[in-house]
Structure 1
Amino acid sequence: MTEIKDISDSTAKDQFILYWGDMGGQWGVNRSVAQIHALLFLSINPMNAEQISDALGIARSNVSNSLKELVGWKLIRRVPVAGDRREHFIAEVDVWEMAILIARGRKEREIDPAMAAIEMCIRQADDEPDLNPVVLSRMKEMQEFLKTADHWSSQMLSVPKSRLNALMKMGDKVFSLLKLAGKKSE
């Protein structure tokens, strides 16, 4: 299903899966992984690897690897199906929970290692007397930014989903509040 020849013949479900795969590619996620996630997200019943492979036209080995990745992200999970010994999978369907899982996963895989690498560079820089102080200052500035972003992210991930939803829906009201607070402190 990675390519639909005549878009007018495809269903809304097919289009969603294709677009989710394209978006995944733009976010650095393998297209097959994103398409399998979309298929399971939209599926009413659990699916096994063979069904997924048939539905998407993706090689069975690619499906197996993609399922492992999605399980690792906790975006899907294995579920038993009575009378069938094959592994079946379902996706997390709560979009807020899904967003939280992705944010946590990206933090663990991207932000935490970046923070550790910058910390190591700063420690190394402290032992280099010939290093231009501007370079060290810039490294420390990046470190401080990542610490602040990490702290903010941790705070947001601890907010209950219903309140996080309300906070995001406030949109312009939050910016207006920040503008007012900025004018009072100036």
Structure 2
Amino acid sequence: MELTPLAERFVRHFGEMGSRWGVNRTVGQIYALLYISGRPLNADEIGETLVFSRSNVGIGIKELQAWRLVKLVHLPGDRRDYFEPPKDVWEIFRVLMEERRRREIEPTLSMLREALLENPDNEADKVAQARMREMHELIELTTSWLDDVQRLSPETVVRLMQLGAKVQKVLEFADKLKFGGRDNGEGGPR
């Protein structure tokens, strides 16, 4: 498979971004190639296209499988293993969010919960624990909101995202109805 200049630019970019996302360049490039190929690819095709060794491709595929970003498929009449990403971009987003949560957010929440159970014995620890409580509350609120959003259909999520700052106007209008139009001088209810 030969990459067009457009496809090559996309694959190179994903390689560069991979290191910022916590995976190596090879893994990012393999994923990008699988994503834009439009069909399942086997390890030999991936290696030949990206000029990677078979072992680098194998390690990269295993990493992508661990992230649940590619799956193994078999083609009729062919004994080789082929790989493809989820076809739906929203499914990819959902999987990425779940994996980030499992790998990054849950361990942080666990540490914060443990720290909040301790009895601080000095002022510095009291201040630190208060800040940790704020962080815990924010992360819990955010993950709860993400759970709610993930239960929505992709079409509903798109509509919600397209609302953008208009959501603030709806909330302000709801507050005015709730509080009878009274205002505390800061644009919000008393």
Distance 1:144 1:20 in 2: 33
How many angstroms does 1:95 deviate by? 1.3
When the two chains are superposed, the root-mean-square deviation of aligned CA atoms in Å is: 2.0
How many percent of aligned residue pairs carry the same amino acid? 33
1:91 equivalenced with 2:102 (yes/no): no
Q: How many correspondences in the alignment?
A: 176
AA aligned opposite 2:10: F
Q: Which runs of 5+ in 2 are unaligned?
A: 176-185
Note if 1:143 corresponds to 2:136. Answer: yes
1:58 to 29, 32, 52: 52
1:185 equivalenced with 2:189 (yes/no): yes
- In the TM superposition, residue 184 of structure 1 has moved relative to its aligned partner by 4.3
Q: Distance in 1 between matches of 2:60 and 2:111?
A: 28
TM-score normalised by the chain length of structure 2: 0.83
Gaps of 5+ in 1: 1-8
**Of the candidates 146, 151, 160, which is equivalent to residue 153 of structure 1?**
146
Instruction: Choose 153-162 or 167-176, whichever is displaced more.
Output: 167-176
Deviation at 1:172, TM superposition (A): 3.0
Which of 32, 37, 56 is 1:38 aligned to? 32
CA–CA distance in structure 2, aligned partners of residues 175 and 58 of structure 1: 49
Q: State the shift of 1:178 in Å.
A: 4.3
What TM-score, normalized by structure 1, do the two folds share? 0.85
Distance 2:67 2:155 in 1: 22
Secondary structure of the residue aligned to 1:84 is: coil
Distance in 2 (alpha carbons) for counterparts of 1:177 and 1:163: 17
Q: How far is 1:144 from its partner? A: 1.2
Give, as a single letter, the amino acid of the residue that structure 1 aligns with 2:128.
Answer: V
- Indicate the structure whose relative CO is greater, using CA pairs within 8 Å and at least 6 residues apart: 1
- Return the alpha-carbon distance in structure 2 between the equivalents of residues 18 and 86 of structure 1: 26
Aligned twin of 1:129: 121
1:14 Cα deviation after fit: 0.8
**Which of these two proteins has the greater Rg computed from alpha carbons?**
2
Q: Distance in 1 between matches of 2:17 and 2:168?
A: 28
The residue number in structure 1 matching 2:178 is: none
Structure 2 CA distance, aligned partners of 1:30 and 1:160?
32
Large movers: runs of 4+ above 6 Å: none
Displacement of 1:44 after TM fit? 2.4
Instruction: Tell me, in whole angstroms, the C-alpha distance in 2 between the residues paired with 1:162 and 1:10.
Output: 32
